[in-house]
Structure 1
Amino acid sequence: MQLGIVSPVVTANPGAHSAWEEGAGIAELTRIAETADRLGFHHLTCSEHVAVPVAVAEQRGATYWDPLATLGYLAARTERIRLATQVLVLGYHHPLELAKRYGTLDLVSGGRVVLGLGVGSLEEEFELLGATFEGRGAIADDALAALRAALGRRTPSYAGSHFRFEGMVVEPHAVQEHLPLWIGGRTPRSLRRAVTLGDGWVPFGLGLDALTSMLAGVDLPEGFEVVLSAGRAADALGDPEGTAERIRRVRAAGATLVSTAVQAESADHYCEQLEALASIGKEIG
Structure 2
Amino acid sequence: MRFGLTHGNIGRFADPEAAAEVAVAAEASGFDSLWTIEHVVLPTEYEPLYPETADGRIPFAPDHPIADPLVWMAFAAARTSTIKLGTAVLVLPQRNALITAKEVATLDRLSGGRTLLGVGAGWLREEFDALRVGFEDRGRRMNDTIGAMRALWSGGPTDFTSDSVDFTGVVSSPRPHGSSVPIHIGGFTVPASIRAGRLGDGFFPGGYDLDRLDVLIRRCREEAVAHGRDPDAIEITSRWTKDRDALADLDVLHRLADLGVDRVTVSTLLFDHEHITDELARFQESVIAKF
Q: TM-score, normalised by structure 1?
A: 0.85
**Equivalent in the alignment of 1:37:** 27
Helix, strand or coil: the match of 1:140? Answer: helix
Structure 2 regions of 5+ residues with no counterpart?
A: 49-56, 225-230
Runs of 4+ in structure 1 off by over 4 angstroms are: none
Q: Give the Cα–Cα distance (whole angstroms) in 1 for the partners of residues 85 and 271 of structure 2.
A: 22
Residue pair 1:184, 1:202 contacting (<8 A) in 2 also: yes
**Equivalent in the alignment of 2:3:** 3
**Equivalent in the alignment of 1:229:** 239
**Equivalent in the alignment of 2:260:** 254
Residue pair 2:30, 2:288 contacting (<8 A) in 1 also: no
**Equivalent in the alignment of 2:46:** 56
Helix, strand or coil: the match of 1:182? Answer: strand
Moved more, 81-90 or 58-67: 58-67
CA deviations 1:3-55 (Å, max 9, x no partner) are: 010134x336xxxxxxxx5x983312311210211233111111111111102
Helix, strand or coil: the match of 1:166? Answer: strand
2:86 to 84, 87, 90: 84
Matched, 1:281 2:288: yes
Residue 154 of structure 1: how far off its partner (Å): 4.6
Residue 234 of structure 1: how far off its partner (Å): 4.7
CA deviations 1:54-95 (Å, max 9, x no partner) are: 023992232321112211111100101111011111111122
Residue pair 1:40, 1:80 contacting (<8 A) in 2 also: no
Residue 248 of structure 1: how far off its partner (Å): 2.1
Q: Give the Cα–Cα distance (whole angstroms) in 1 for the partners of residues 138 and 132 of structure 2.
A: 13
Residues 1:266 and 1:68: Cα distance change in structure 2 (over 3 Å): closer
Q: Give the Cα–Cα distance (whole angstroms) in 2 for the partners of residues 78 and 114 of structure 1.
A: 15
Amino acid at match of 2:7: S
Q: Percent identity?
A: 30
Residue pair 1:194, 1:200 contacting (<8 A) in 2 also: yes
Q: TM-score, normalised by structure 2?
A: 0.84
Residue 104 of structure 1: how far off its partner (Å): 0.7
Amino acid at match of 1:222: D
Amino acid at match of 1:138: R
Moved more, 214-223 or 128-137: 214-223
Structure 1 regions of 5+ residues with no counterpart?
A: 13-20
Q: Give the Cα–Cα distance (whole angstroms) in 2 for the partners of residues 67 and 55 of structure 1.
A: 23
**Equivalent in the alignment of 1:264:** 271
Helix, strand or coil: the match of 2:158? Answer: coil
